[in-house]
Structure 1
Amino acid sequence: MSILALYITDINGQQLLEYPVADYPPTNKSIQVALRDCPPDEVILRLSPNELVFHRKQDSLVFLLPCTATIPSLVPLEFISHLIKVLHDYFQPPLTRQKIEKNFSTIMMLLNEMIEDGYPFVTEENALRDLVPYSDSISKYLKGATSSIKNLTSSKTSSMQSISSTDIGAPRSNVPWRRSNVKHNNNELYVDIHESLSVIIPALSPAQKMLHSLASDTTPSASAFYTVPSAVPSVLPEPIVSIAHGSVYATTRLSGIPDIQIILSFGNRILEGPAFHPCVRLARWREHPGTLSFIPPDGKCCLLQYTISGVESGPIGGDLKTGLGTAKDEFEVRIWSRVPRNVKFVENLRLELVYDGDRVQNIKGVRASSGEFNIEKKGTGIWRFPGKTPMGWSSTLRGTMVVNEELEPGEDGTVQQEFPKYIKISYDCMGMLVSGTKVESLRITSGRQGLMENAKPYKGVKYMTKGTDIVIRG
């Protein structure tokens, strides 16, 4: 139940790095042969009854991790994710063939620390910084330690002692996720809370459809260029699903070993399945829910991930009506922005119009009051609103779908008219969270060791909501 080897290849399967762990691991050549029949979205490949290969494409590289078949699937997948984060931390994204070849020795030293007896060992970026120097200092080390590098995979202890004595110098921190002797000229502490919103709104009931159809055909709001807020429907169905997935990030550039406390307010909401970074003191959270007390890693980390159900549907709304016009063959999509407090606009607003691409040839008579509408792929039209979209705004799109003439007619001798199946909205909104979560307090409580007496760290908090999966059925 262990890792057998690690291979890094280019997208064509050419090997760039090999790190064997077992005595006789599967070869890259045998893995490449098996990968030919592997579906593109599969991340686990069974190489033999006793061997699995976990693989992931990142930038222009492919990471291959052959393991024994009894290993829990989450372990190798998480290890690959941590390895990619470490390589990004050391060499900056994107990862390329040239970076792997140029920093071969550094990567081998990293792997020597990250894998111990076939299992993940040290995977925190801050801890690895104390063990393995950056590429600019590794060259100095290599000049005086060429012989030990040649036997790196079998003599980790002696080589690491040499590195510590020549390059690191400072004692290791007793906090595993924080490197020792951290120093910053400008001390800063930032908290970013991001929430992604997933909403499913059902189709209108027959009675609602009739009311909206009559209103669309008999009032000025039926115009495709009617954009005033009064065009927003007064009655909308309740969402079937309305979930916010949140992440609390801390970016710390503080000298020494600071102790930080963040107090979060979730209102009356209940957090579902919260997940914490190892630095967070869980006992303090259990005693005082909403309190994140921790000694942070140096740099950026995700302190908390959570899910909250039953949230508001967000600052952007929309609806889809079908069977409009004199021939009852038109559809109409409306999208509008509400007016939440402290928010003036949303960005990257777009709407996907999803329909049966096999039955629909084209969309004719498209009339959009604003934005740009294009059919970009089979079965999907994209309605984009470049730049910033203000609050208290609305827009309308109307058209008719052209049915494929080659379709067989029904019993009545006609081909059924097609309409969109659903619309999907996405956007970015800075300055608000749909769950109402907010930071009540952000402070350094103790442990100011390393900070100058008169140092006053700069602190900041930002909120962002991303509407990623807002589905409205027709």
Structure 2
Amino acid sequence: MSAIEALYIFDEHNATILEHVYRGRPPTASVLLPLYLSHPSPQPSLIYLPNTHPPTLVYSIIQDRLLFLSPSSAESEPLLALEFLHRVADALEDFLGSPLLASKIESSYDVVAQLLSEMCDGGLVSNTEPNALRDVVEAPNWVKGLLGGVGLPSSSPSLNPSSQTPFSLPRPSLPRAPSAATANPVPWRRANVRHTSNELYVDIVETLSITLAPSGRPLSALAFGTVAFTAKVSGVPDLILQLNAPGGILNTISLPVFHPCVRLGRWKEKPGELSFVPPDGRFVLAGYEADLLGDDHLASFTSTSSTSKSLASLNLPATPAVSVSLGPTGADFEVRLSISPRFQNKPSASTASSSSRGGLGSRSASAFSATGTTAHPHIEEVKVHIPLPAAVRTIADLRTSRGDAQYAPGDTGIEWRVAAKDVAALLASHHGGSVSASATLRGSVVGEEEEDEETAPSVSLEAGSRWEYDEDEGGGYQTSSSVEPAQQRNGNGKGEAEAEQRSKRRVALNRVLMPSSATVSFSVKGWLASGIKVDALMVDAKRSKGLGAGVTPYKGVKYLTVSRKGVEARC
């Protein structure tokens, strides 16, 4: 059976801030860290160390610049150990606050020790749900004050001191397991949850990973979605979330994963319908992967379908295109950024009056920096990254039609930033229609080979030339040619041929210095690349407990699509 032997946490300076051993005699933190750092960076999540006794597997994650290591001397399940490390990091961040700092762990070691003991008992992973941990772990003083200020229980009922009679001696309060009467039947939800305002929020976030061929045709297009849910409802609510997509939910998503609260039988019976009792607070309800090109996109490469149809099916907010080897010497390149007019930013008044969908109200604009709805998607700042080969010494004559480009000699790429106001101005100046608005970036590459060729003296060793060294003239080589005038005329033609060859050689050298791709980063509010929508979010009054008669929770839905260098155009 898989077991966790120990947990070590190191700060950004590789200093040990926590050692917690669960079972056995694993290598100490001072022994394990040098062996881990000896591997070339970036270190993988799983490293095998054969030089230890016995040979050890090391699982690692990095969160908020803190390094989490867990050794294992026996065969274990890698996903279990890595997921446990992620759960520990999330629990520490939940109890100690975000971001997770070394000083917070050192100053609250009593809370950290309780968490680690509850989450893993004798090396066996037991309780890792945040809501269940709040019932059995004493929170820090500042967290208790914060929870008490908003009307939540400031400490766990199981940790409160027992009632004392006037004649009884005081005794310390020790943690004890909740009794059967007070135990929560739902392990991922806290008992006796109370909220003054009942609210339910759904946030669907998709991250793009798209690769475009030099012709502009998409080679692959994937969207990785996350359904984030926020439940601030009293009692034990029973919810139903209905998802839909233009081509059917089963034809749109693949590889779905769900929180343990989701009833899988209901999903199999009615695809697209999620029935669950939510944890208290914010959590990840589900995740999925969507192929934006469809299952038959590989067969389309053998057909004669046009590129425009393939691009129209994606309907991307921003796409790059790279043109290289321009100019007489092939040293110039151009990157063209195209922005779809569909994502033109609208005034906030129009977005604020957008209608609800499926009985769901729109959330307030304070949840995001700018509004964005399905009717009027809002595109944020666009960034284009152009990677450069290592042989490029500098970029000459770098200029853009919109935005600002940043490059310094020695950088590995060019960062072109088009701010939101520049995007709005670009789309406002666009005349409309289906043609996208575009901005350009141009530059010239300069490499070591090109500079050495220009500065080197031109020497021609021709037959019939005699070389002499004259000291009276200050030193230097001189030639005296015995070539006939007719031969000199032939030499001029030969010089032109050599000049043409040098020009071709320079173009070939500059071609090696050209960028090979460009990636685009952006975020769009109110739009999902997969087309998934929330049809309804309902509360099952028959199954819910403690909600109160006539109480209707406020519901809101937000969509967000993010590309972190996810749209790549190759050339």
Name the counterpart of 1:365.
Answer: 397
Match of 1:443 among 531, 535, 538: 538
User: For residues 314-371 of structure 1, what are the alpha-carbon distances to aligned partners after superposition, in whole Å with 9 as ceiling and x for unaligned?
Assistant: 111221122334554422211121133723541121001122122x222222221110
Name the counterpart of 1:155.
Answer: none
Tell me, yes or no, if structure 1 residue 417 matches structure 2 residue 510.
Answer: yes
Q: Structure 1: how far apart are the matches of 2:38 and 2:328?
A: 53
Quote how far apart the aligned CAs of 1:170 are: 7.9
Tell me, yes or no, if structure 1 residue 2 matches structure 2 residue 98.
Answer: no
User: For residues 127-163 of structure 1, what are the alpha-carbon distances to aligned partners after superposition, in whole Å with 9 as ceiling and x for unaligned?
Assistant: 1111213123679999979xxxxxxxxxxxx9531x7
Q: After alignment, is 423-432 or 334-343 more displaced?
A: 334-343
Name the counterpart of 1:216.
Answer: none
Name the counterpart of 2:326.
Answer: 324
Quote how far apart the aligned CAs of 1:412 are: 4.5
Q: Structure 2: how far apart are the matches of 1:17 and 1:348?
A: 40
Q: Structure 1: how far apart are the matches of 2:562 and 2:186?
A: 34
Q: After alignment, is 11-20 or 278-287 more displaced?
A: 11-20
User: For residues 28-76 of structure 1, what are the alpha-carbon distances to aligned partners after superposition, in whole Å with 9 as ceiling and x for unaligned?
Assistant: 1211232341333223333435422222232243222122340111111
Name the counterpart of 1:38.
Answer: 39
Letter in 2 for 1:192: D
Q: Structure 1: how far apart are the matches of 2:139 and 2:73?
A: 32
Consecutive unaligned residues in structure 1, runs of 5 or more: 146-157, 205-236
- Show the 5 A alignment for 1:393-472: 393-405=437-449, 412-413=501-502, 414-415=505-506, 416-418=509-511, 419-446=514-541, 447-468=543-564, 469-472=566-569
Letter in 1 for 2:442: R
Quote how far apart the aligned CAs of 1:407 are: 8.3
1:130/1:172 contact within 8 Å kept: no
The structure carrying a bigger strand percent of its residues is 1
Tell me, yes or no, if structure 1 residue 275 matches structure 2 residue 257.
Answer: yes
- Show the 5 A alignment for 1:90-101: 90-101=95-106
Letter in 1 for 2:197: N
1:262/1:443 contact within 8 Å kept: yes
Q: After alignment, is 238-247 or 393-402 more displaced?
A: 393-402
Tell me, yes or no, if structure 1 residue 28 matches structure 2 residue 123.
Answer: no
Quote how far apart the aligned CAs of 1:302 are: 1.2
Name the counterpart of 1:172.
Answer: 183
Match of 2:200 among 189, 192, 198: 189
Q: Structure 1: how far apart are the matches of 2:241 and 2:389?
A: 49
Name the counterpart of 1:219.
Answer: none
Match of 1:381 among 414, 419, 422: 414
Name the counterpart of 2:228.
Answer: 249
Distance 1:143 1:275, change over 3 A: closer
Percent identity, aligned pairs only?
35
SS in 2 for 1:12: coil
Tell me, yes or no, if structure 1 residue 335 matches structure 2 residue 337.
Answer: yes
Letter in 1 for 2:406: N
1:357/1:380 contact within 8 Å kept: no
Greater Rg, structure 1 or structure 2? 2
Consecutive unaligned residues in structure 2, runs of 5 or more: 145-154, 163-172, 294-313, 343-373, 431-436, 454-497
Letter in 2 for 1:277: H
Name the counterpart of 2:147.
Answer: none
Q: Structure 2: how far apart are the matches of 1:381 and 1:443?
A: 48
Q: Structure 2: how far apart are the matches of 1:94 and 1:39?
A: 27
How large is the Cα RMSD of the aligned pairs?
2.8
SS in 1 for 2:341: coil
Distance 1:171 1:345, change over 3 A: same
Q: Structure 2: how far apart are the matches of 1:11 and 1:317?
A: 37
Distance 1:403 1:279, change over 3 A: same
Distance 1:464 1:139, change over 3 A: closer
1:352/1:425 contact within 8 Å kept: yes
SS in 2 for 1:417: helix
Q: Structure 1: how far apart are the matches of 2:226 and 2:37?
A: 37
Normalising to structure 2: TM-score of the pair? 0.69
2:159/2:174 contact within 8 Å kept: no
Name the counterpart of 1:71.
Answer: 76
Q: After alignment, is 455-464 or 402-411 more displaced?
A: 402-411
Distance 1:259 1:144, change over 3 A: closer
User: For residues 430-454 of structure 1, what are the alpha-carbon distances to aligned partners after superposition, in whole Å with 9 as ceiling and x for unaligned?
Assistant: 0000111110111112334222323
Normalising to structure 1: TM-score of the pair? 0.83
SS in 2 for 1:65: strand
Q: Structure 2: how far apart are the matches of 1:460 and 1:41?
A: 40
Letter in 2 for 1:37: S
Name the counterpart of 2:384.
Answer: 351
